[in-house]
């Protein structure tokens, strides 16, 4: 099984990782070159933004706090009772 994986990387099916991939847990090192064990062309995953397979980078989620009108909140709360 291990020889099958290394032959895929050595035959040129997979492309080497790009700079953004450094630190990912999916990296497979074969001889002196590092490859992504999940995706064939890792550079394409980073072109449009962040790679969805990246284990080292998490998307930033912006939390917006909404101001609620206290009169409307009281009215809604009174309807629930």
pLDDT over 60 at 1, yes or no = no
d(CA 24, CA 56): 5
> How does pLDDT run across 13-39, given as a tens digit for each residue?
788 888 888 888 888 888 888 888 888
Predicted confidence band of residue 81 (pLDDT cuts 50, 70, 90): low
Mean pLDDT of the chain: 81
pLDDT over 70 at 2, yes or no = no
Q: Which residues of 32-69 are buried (b: 16+ CB within 10 A; e: fewer)?
A: eebbbebbeebbebbeeeebeebeeeeeeeeeeeeeee
pLDDT over 80 at 77, yes or no = yes
Domain ranges of the chain: 2-80
DSSP H helix total and E strand total for the chain = 3, 2
């Amino acid at each position: 099984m291990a020889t099958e994986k290394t032959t895929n990387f050595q035959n040129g099916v997979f492309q080497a990782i790009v700079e953004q991939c450094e630190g990912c847990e999916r990296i497979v090192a074969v001889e002196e070159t590092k490859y992504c064990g999940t995706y064939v062309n890792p550079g394409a995953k980073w072109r449009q933004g962040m790679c969805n397979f990246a284990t080292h980078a998490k998307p930033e989620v912006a939390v917006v706090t909404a101001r609620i009108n206290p009169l409307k909140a009281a009215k809604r709360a009174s309807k629930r009772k």
